[in-house]
Structure 1
Amino acid sequence: MYAIEKNKGPSLVKNIDWFIIINVILINVIGLIVLKGMADQKEIPNLFMKQLIASILGIAVMIIVMIIDYKDLKILGIPAYFITVFLLVAVLLVGVGREETGTRGWLMLGPLSVQPSELGKVAMVIAAAFYFERLQQGRSLKHVLLLLASTALPIGLVLLQPDFGTAMVYVFMFLCMLFVSGIKYRYIFIFGGSVLLVFPLLWFTVLVNVLPNHMITRIQSFLNPSAHENSGAYQVRMAIRHIGRGQLTGVGLGKGKATFMVPEVETDSIFAVVGEEMGFVGAVVLVALFAVLLLRCLYIARFAKDKFGTFLVIGLMAMFLFHFVENVGMNIGILPMTGIPLPFVSSGGSSVVVNYLAVGIIVSVSMRRQKPMFEA
């Protein structure tokens, strides 16, 4: 059992980071506005109502979590991690998913569908942050093994669904935390270079026989879009077309055609609707809000009171960064298409609640951070 030094000081209410809270709520509001227009067009009111309820629930979760001292996660994170692992195992046994991809990633709890892999991102970050802090205090083979095991287990369970897009998010979060842990950069460059050199060999000898057909098609369509215009590249081609159709100020909320023409538009391709209905101006505003969110996370990580707080914020920031870059990138054709939603914007109750949970942890760290010189 590890003793936890609790943060003490004056009232924390005045230390609430309203900057980051207002920022994510604005992003969420944009998502709700876009989904309301889509719901009206498709005459599916539940599309908007479920997202609205999830957003309200998410804000409530954020408030509760940010009040809790983030250091308590060293204890609370243990049962949360094992519950998450149990849910990821349950998904493999009784879960449901998408027929077109063969992914089994949702649990049905009455009228609700829950995606445990979303919660797994936060649980993995908490576990990894704990062991990274231990390694900072003094290297131990036991802690290295526990770090690798606690990270590999949820990644392996997500790969078995199989959900390679979400597994990539897990790996990216771990690598970002590893990057700030003090590891020598030459090891990172050696590892990255080795992956680039070995990947072509793995592709032709192993991956083409292991990866699902839909993923192989997506990779091939990204490398050669003209050869897959009506198959793997169709979604990207339609997304780019409708983003361009928005021009400077957009065609107007609820008046776009992307709602009917772009596959998976409520989740994977929601940015196409933003670009079409809000135009270049709306897309830039959304991108700017995400940029501010990420920069604020870096600031909070820099002035966190301890290494545990720093690793927590970096891991969760990496989650937002990967989702944002991948979702926008795949919709404008510069990254391969994956099933990665845009945080706070794409339809998905589990995603919205977990994103607010992550923000709650980040705000908890911010409320208890060290004050830099000249800050009031």
Structure 2
Amino acid sequence: MLDLFNPFRWKARFLPWQEMDWWLFALPVGLSVFGGVMIRSTELNTPVTDWWQHWLITGIGVVIMLFLARCRYENLIDWHWYIYGVTNVLLIAVMILGYSAKGAQRWISIGGFNFQPSEFAKLGLIITLAALLHSEGASNIFSALRALAVTAVPWLLVFIQPDLGTSLVFGAIVLGMLYWGNANPGWLILLVSPVVSAVVFNAFLLNPYSPEWMAWAVLITWATLMSLIAWRTLPWRWTIAGAFAINILGGEIGHLLWEILKEYQKNRLILFLNPEKDPLGGGYHLIQSRIAIGSGQVWGRGLHNGTQTQLHFIPEQHTDFIFSAIGEELGFVGCILVMVVFWLICLRLIILAENAKDNFGSLLAIGVLAMIVFQVIVNIGMTIGLAPVTGIPLPWVSYGRSAMLTNFISLGLVESVSTYRQRLRF
């Protein structure tokens, strides 16, 4: 009987987890509990979903995370092509067997449980890229191109669902992991330069106060700058002209694509700059979200007391726009505390990446970091009017079963990196 109170016995039970990063365990779990409280607050008067499922999925995610923390993450190197294949098969299956909602075909139903393959595809991509880059890194141009080619397949499958938000997350993951894999920063600039060309060219071209020649002058200047970067960073001289041509072409293609977009699609992309242009349509979410966050002021109106939140002026407030409820009911202080928690999570991920015993574990941590950072920035940005509405949830806080499980599985792999790292104390 006395053995039950033996501290050495209980210490032995937790021995497999003694090297876990407990901050990285506690902070996301705390965010998930907090998220359940806020989801319940948004549904007091008009329930949209069962808010307690958020906590249920959190419990399942924690069990999976603790299990994965005991498994050796290095074994994934031998399985990365199988994981990559399953990822792409699921993305194809959702196009054939899945069902549509809100204009996109993203869900598969198995036994009454609906899940999004695109959410788990983020983790599949992280594992695959980490396995490809862990030995050679991305300092070799061919290794970097191979990583991009591998990313292109699931990215295209997600993009045509269509799921613009997740496809952007894929881009953030591959850029972050290439950078950590010692890719030349110039290559990464060249990689995103055609997108910059399209955005900047159209921004000047569509501005009624800007003459057309100014748009072309800016585009040509940018293309020339990219040519100089190609000359300094790429081994082939012909890429100088190629970089110039691709950026000019990027600007033109961006303009052509803009012209063929329907009016509501154009509004969705630019209304965050001036949502008052369509206050009852595409700009409605942004206007109501800004009103809610602004009305919270410093300390907030109090839990369950937000007028915008309780009267449901903001659609999808339990998912994509959960941050607006935080801003209204908990105020500026609540918003800052949430962002500090995310900052601490990211800090722990960076520390683990720096102290991992091998490149594979380090790259896993950085891939998860890139995924989380991008989603947090875009989600908070769209609720305060600094980014277009893309449907990206706030990790661990927004309601979403597939997203929640993906986040906890990702943390489980990172905790495995911590558990089996060299015995370093930090």
TM-score, with normalisation over the residues of structure 1?
0.89
Paired letter, 2:74: K
Structure 1 position 282 matched with structure 2 position 346: no
Q: Distance in 1 between matches of 2:422 and 2:389?
A: 40
Paired letter, 2:327: G
What residue number does 2:162 align with? Answer: 162
Q: Distance in 2 between matches of 1:137 and 1:341?
A: 30
Judged with a 3 Å threshold, the aligned counterparts in structure 2 of structure 1 residues 193 and 139 are, in CA distance, closer, same or farther, namely closer
Judged with a 3 Å threshold, the aligned counterparts in structure 2 of structure 1 residues 84 and 187 are, in CA distance, closer, same or farther, namely closer
Give 1:26-175 correspondences, 5 Å limit. 26-44=30-48, 46-99=49-102, 102-136=103-137, 141=142, 146-175=146-175
Paired letter, 1:263: P
How far residue 212 of structure 1 moved from its aligned partner, in angstroms, is 6.8
How far residue 35 of structure 1 moved from its aligned partner, in angstroms, is 1.1
Judged with a 3 Å threshold, the aligned counterparts in structure 2 of structure 1 residues 159 and 137 are, in CA distance, closer, same or farther, namely closer
Judged with a 3 Å threshold, the aligned counterparts in structure 2 of structure 1 residues 228 and 269 are, in CA distance, closer, same or farther, namely same
Aligned 8 A contact 2:135 2:359 in 1: no
Farther off after superposition, 167-176 or 66-75: 66-75
Structure 1: tracts of 5 or more residues without a match: 1-9
Structure 1 position 205 matched with structure 2 position 208: no
How far residue 79 of structure 1 moved from its aligned partner, in angstroms, is 2.9
How far residue 167 of structure 1 moved from its aligned partner, in angstroms, is 0.2
Q: Distance in 1 between matches of 2:392 and 2:145?
A: 30
How far residue 161 of structure 1 moved from its aligned partner, in angstroms, is 0.3
How far residue 198 of structure 1 moved from its aligned partner, in angstroms, is 3.8
Structure 1 position 251 matched with structure 2 position 290: no
Judged with a 3 Å threshold, the aligned counterparts in structure 2 of structure 1 residues 140 and 176 are, in CA distance, closer, same or farther, namely closer
How far residue 213 of structure 1 moved from its aligned partner, in angstroms, is 5.7
How far residue 12 of structure 1 moved from its aligned partner, in angstroms, is 4.0
Q: Distance in 1 between matches of 2:264 and 2:98?
A: 20
Per-residue displacement from partner, 1:52-89 (whole Å, max 9, x unpaired)?
22111111111111111111111344333322221111
**SS of alignment partner, residue 391 of structure 2:** coil
Q: Looking at CA atoms only, which structure, 1 or 2, has the larger radius of gyration?
A: 2
Per-residue displacement from partner, 1:300-337 (whole Å, max 9, x unpaired)?
11111111111111111111001101101110111111
Judged with a 3 Å threshold, the aligned counterparts in structure 2 of structure 1 residues 207 and 311 are, in CA distance, closer, same or farther, namely farther
Per-residue displacement from partner, 1:16-49 (whole Å, max 9, x unpaired)?
11111001111111101111222332245x4212
Farther off after superposition, 181-190 or 18-27: 181-190
Aligned 8 A contact 1:35 1:47 in 2: no
* Paired residues, number: 360
Structure 1 position 231 matched with structure 2 position 281: yes
What residue number does 2:245 align with? Answer: none
How far residue 347 of structure 1 moved from its aligned partner, in angstroms, is 0.8
Structure 2: tracts of 5 or more residues without a match: 1-13, 202-250
Paired letter, 2:409: L
Give 1:288-299 correspondences, 5 Å limit. 288-299=340-351
What residue number does 1:187 align with? Answer: 187
Q: Distance in 1 between matches of 2:290 and 2:274?
A: 16
Q: Distance in 2 between matches of 1:30 and 1:139?
A: 44
Aligned 8 A contact 1:135 1:144 in 2: no
What residue number does 2:361 align with? Answer: 309
Q: Distance in 2 between matches of 1:168 and 1:203?
A: 17
**SS of alignment partner, residue 330 of structure 2:** helix
Judged with a 3 Å threshold, the aligned counterparts in structure 2 of structure 1 residues 231 and 147 are, in CA distance, closer, same or farther, namely same
Per-residue displacement from partner, 1:332-353 (whole Å, max 9, x unpaired)?
1111111000000111111111
Q: Distance in 2 between matches of 1:72 and 1:286?
A: 35
Judged with a 3 Å threshold, the aligned counterparts in structure 2 of structure 1 residues 192 and 111 are, in CA distance, closer, same or farther, namely closer
Judged with a 3 Å threshold, the aligned counterparts in structure 2 of structure 1 residues 138 and 321 are, in CA distance, closer, same or farther, namely closer
Judged with a 3 Å threshold, the aligned counterparts in structure 2 of structure 1 residues 194 and 43 are, in CA distance, closer, same or farther, namely closer
How far residue 214 of structure 1 moved from its aligned partner, in angstroms, is 4.7
Structure 1 position 340 matched with structure 2 position 377: no
Q: Distance in 2 between matches of 1:138 and 1:273?
A: 44
How far residue 248 of structure 1 moved from its aligned partner, in angstroms, is 2.0
Per-residue displacement from partner, 1:175-195 (whole Å, max 9, x unpaired)?
011111112223333444453
Q: Distance in 2 between matches of 1:178 and 1:85?
A: 21
What residue number does 1:21 align with? Answer: 25
Q: Distance in 2 between matches of 1:38 and 1:198?
A: 39
Paired letter, 1:128: L
Aligned 8 A contact 2:138 2:181 in 1: no
Q: Distance in 2 between matches of 1:213 and 1:83?
A: 37
How far residue 221 of structure 1 moved from its aligned partner, in angstroms, is 0.6
Q: Distance in 2 between matches of 1:203 and 1:231?
A: 25
Per-residue displacement from partner, 1:95-141 (whole Å, max 9, x unpaired)?
12323xx1110111232110010000000010011111132399595
Q: What is the identity percentage for the equivalent residue pairs of Structure 1 and Structure 2?
A: 31
What residue number does 2:238 align with? Answer: none
How far residue 273 of structure 1 moved from its aligned partner, in angstroms, is 0.6
Aligned 8 A contact 1:47 1:347 in 2: no
Aligned 8 A contact 2:138 2:183 in 1: no
How far residue 11 of structure 1 moved from its aligned partner, in angstroms, is 5.0
